[in-house]
Amino acid sequence: MPALAREQALPAGVARPRRRRARREGLTAFGFLLPNGLGFLLFTLVPIVTSLALSFFAWPLTSSPTFVGADNYVTLLTRDRVFHQVLFNTLYYVFVYVPLNLVVSLGLAVWLSGRVRGANLFRVLFFLPVVTPMVANALVWSLMYQPREGLFDWLLAAVHLPGPNWLGSFEWAMPSVIAMSVWAGFGYNLMVFTAGLRAIPRDLYDAAAVDGATRWQQFWRVTLPLLTPSLFFALVLTLISSFQVFTQPYVLTGGGPADRTTTLVLSMFDNAFQFYRMGYASAIAWFLFVLIMLVTATQFLSQRRWVHYDL
């Protein structure tokens, strides 16, 4: 691109042969980009624009859509009490899941970066749930959460303790969904942090040790500040994906009990494919999109304060 820009500044007579070659290169590049571009256009951009348009319609799928203006959004934000519950559930999930995920993955990454026997084996084990399909993970956990016969109740019974109704009670349903999600998801961030930790030069620790810093101080003063780019990356991605959580509640609880685990995407799915309210589902999708965009923008704005890119 910079080469092209420079050419345009040259007098016309000088530039012609080079411009022609550039144009040919441009066309070739265009040709290569076209299949992917068309795919993006057809299967991403068109649906995105369509869904925005749809969010201003009431469309029960089998009959034709009717324009309702901002009605869907007004209902969503003011009248739909279930949606408020759904929003609360999603925030509950995000604000508990994200810190837990980061603490567990960071803690284990730091532990494994020391002299641990079979560290690579552990890394593989911790990463396994990430490459296992989420539906399979959730199905296995739903068996472990079963009343009486499930693993957790069985373990508790062995020490004569009664287990709670893991997936059936208001108090435990969401924590159960979160616990399963942390188990299934922390492996990815563990890898991110492992890579980040390896990039920190050893001599910084040696210097800190010479200055008399304890392990604890080394972690807070050396490791953590130098790991902030990885932390930032992990935080942004984990936040985005946790706002979009769907599979875990869909498979574990189906949104119950009493919509206590229905998340934004699950509610969107319900409205679109169970209740056939396509317009309303599109409005939820756009609400979620704006929410995620705001959160991500805030993170990018705030990173200047706490992310250190210079070594």
Partner 1 sequence: MDCPGRLRSVARVLAAALGTTLTIAACGGGGGGAAPTPTGGRVDLTWFMWSGTPQEADAWKTVAGMVTQQYPNIHVEFTTASFPDYWTKFQAEAASGTLPCLISLQSLRTAGFANNFRPLTPFIQKDHFDVGAFDKSIIGGLTFDKNLRALPYDFGPYVIYYNRDMFEQNHLPLPTNEWTYREFLTDAHALTTGGKYGFMAWTGPEQFLPFVLSSGGSYLKNGKLDFTNPAVQKAFGDYVALATKERVAPPLPATPNSTYAQEQWMAGNAAMLISGPWSVINFKANAKFRFGIVPFPRPADKSITLSAGSGFGISNTCQHPDEAWKALTVMTGPEAEKFLASAGRAFAARTAAQQYWYQVAGPDLQTPLQVALKTAVPYQTTPQWQQVSTLLQRYMVAAINGQMSPSDALDQVQSQAGG
Which of these ranges, 38-46, 202-210, 282-290, 298-306, lies near partner 1 under the rule CB under 8 A? 38-46
Determine the Cα–Cα distance for residues 212 and 230; give it in Å rounded to an integer.
27
Determine the Cα–Cα distance for residues 97 and 83; give it in Å rounded to an integer.
21
Find the binder of partner 1 among 40, 67, 95, 275 (CB under 8 A): 275
Residue 56: Cβ-neighbour burial (10 angstroms; 0-12, 13-18, 19+): middle
x/- track of binding to partner 1 for residues 16-35 (CB under 8 A): --------x--x---x--xx
DSSP line for 157-205: HHTT-PPP-TTTSHHHHHHHHHHHHHHHHHHHHHHHHHHHHHTS-HHHH
Encoded amino acid at 204, one letter:
L
C-beta closer to partner 1: residue 70 or 258: 258
**Should residue 160 be labelled a site residue for partner 1 when binding is judged by CB under 8 A?**
no
**Should residue 148 be labelled a site residue for partner 1 when binding is judged by CB under 8 A?**
yes
Q: To the nearest whole angstrom, how small is the minimum distance from the Cβ of residue 277 to partner 1? A: 9
**Should residue 201 be labelled a site residue for partner 1 when binding is judged by CB under 8 A?**
no
C-beta closer to partner 1: residue 111 or 275: 275
Closest CA to 279 of 40, 42, 76, 43: 76
**Should residue 256 be labelled a site residue for partner 1 when binding is judged by CB under 8 A?**
yes
Find the binder of partner 1 among 4, 10, 14, 38 (CB under 8 A): 38
Find the binder of partner 1 among 87, 227, 245, 252 (CB under 8 A): 252
User: 123: Cβ–Cβ under 8 A, 6 or more apart, which residues?
Assistant: 112, 190, 191, 194
User: Which residue is associated with the tokens 């706002």?
Assistant: 243
Q: Rule CB under 8 A: which residues touch partner 1?
A: 24, 27, 31, 34-35, 38-39, 42, 61-63, 82, 142, 145-148, 165-170, 173, 250-262, 270, 273-276
